[in-house]
């Protein structure tokens, strides 16, 4: 890589295994409190890993989790990491009307700020669920006082995606940036390059190549994400789920932590707010 290495944004979506959208048909919301919660163990493991490498990250956290584990919130912010919002109850933005979505993002922001004593600047919609059909969500986020969103995934996917959206940071409302999770442009198509199930499924060398392409050719910072449950091979198995969901959720859980350690050693990482809000917006997002 020529010149100074680009600082990328490392993000964690703080939700537990039973709150994943793909498992919603199998685990009713009113049963969440009856499930074994493993979020504390997994977040502690992530904090230890980041501390060992002296890396700061952004934790997009559910209000539901924060309300039940306030000491975990203190651990995150006391470690120098950014606390951001993942909404309150992991409801997709596309499943809510404007009033309910607004209430959700306002509640989550206030709860996280009260518990942490820090301003919450960022929001990520569950399952990247802001798209053409609910762009009014940006109006709600602006009114609630958020400064950035990371809620659009510019790919085609059966659960989410807005493939014609700008690939990089761009202003969507006055004072509000959208920071799409990272895709790499290959063969005139956007390919997922930013984590989740793709990172667990693909060989590490492939993920590294895609991310380096964005840093070196596009000269843009990467936004990478993962979930705490993705490093937890010992999580309870949910019975009766369909084969596709089972594959997507459980593939390579036993290898994820090792791959993450390689990833954080191969690239330079920081918090979202420090990567994107510390300097004026360099581009409009029009570059594809």
In 10 A of CB 27, how many CB atoms?
Answer: 17
Tokens describing residue 247 = 């594959």
Using one digit for the tens of pLDDT, what is the confidence trace for 16-48?
Answer: 999 999 999 999 999 999 999 999 999 999 999
Q: How far is CA 20 from the centre of its chain?
A: 13
> How confident is the model over 68-106, as pLDDT tens digits?
999 999 999 999 999 999 999 999 999 999 999 999 999
Span 47-64, pLDDT tens digits: 999 999 999 999 999 999
Q: Domain 7-277, what architecture?
A: Alpha-Beta Barrel (3.20)
Tokens of 56: 């700061």
- Rounded CA separation 150/131 (Å): 12
24 token code pair: 């919603």
Q: Which single residue is written with the structure tokens 């990567």?
A: 275
Domains of the chain, by residue range, sit at 7-277
Tell me phi and psi for residue 236, to 5 degrees.
-60, 140
242-272 pLDDT per residue, tens = 999 999 999 999 999 999 999 999 999 999 9
Checking if the pLDDT of 284 tops 80, the result is no
């Amino acid at each position: 890589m020529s010149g100074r290495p680009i600082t990328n944004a490392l993000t964690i979506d703080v939700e537990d295994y039973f709150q994943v959208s793909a498992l919603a048909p199998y685990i009713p919301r009113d049963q969440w409190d009856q499930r074994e919660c493993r979020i504390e163990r997994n977040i502690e493991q992530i904090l230890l890993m980041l501390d060992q490498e002296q890396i700061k990250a952004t934790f997009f956290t559910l209000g539901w989790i924060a309300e039940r584990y306030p000491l975990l919130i203190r651990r995150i912010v006391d470690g120098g990491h950014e606390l951001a919002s993942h909404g309150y109850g992991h409801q997709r933005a596309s499943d809510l009307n404007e009033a309910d979505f607004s209430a959700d993002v306002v509640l989550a922001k206030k709860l996280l700020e009260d518990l942490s004593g820090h301003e919450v600047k960022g929001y990520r919609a569950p399952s990247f669920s802001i798209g053409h059909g609910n762009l009014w969500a940006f109006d709600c986020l602006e009114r609630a006082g958020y400064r950035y969103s990371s809620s659009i995934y510019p790919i085609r996917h059966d659960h989410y995606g807005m493939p014609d959206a700008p690939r990089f940071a761009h202003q969507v409302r006055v004072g509000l940036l959208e920071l799409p999770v990272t895709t790499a442009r290959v063969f005139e198509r956007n390919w997922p390059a930013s984590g989740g199930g793709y990172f667990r499924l693909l060989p590490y060398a492939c993920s590294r190549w895609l991310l380096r392409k964005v840093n070196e050719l596009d000269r843009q910072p990467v936004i990478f994400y993962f979930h705490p449950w993705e490093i937890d091979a010992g999580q309870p198995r949910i019975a009766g789920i369909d084969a596709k969901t089972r594959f997507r959720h459980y593939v390579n859980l036993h290898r994820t932590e090792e791959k993450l350690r390689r990833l954080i050693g191969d690239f330079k990482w920081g918090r979202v707010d420090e990567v994107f809000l510390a300097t004026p917006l360099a581009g409009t997002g029009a570059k594809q």
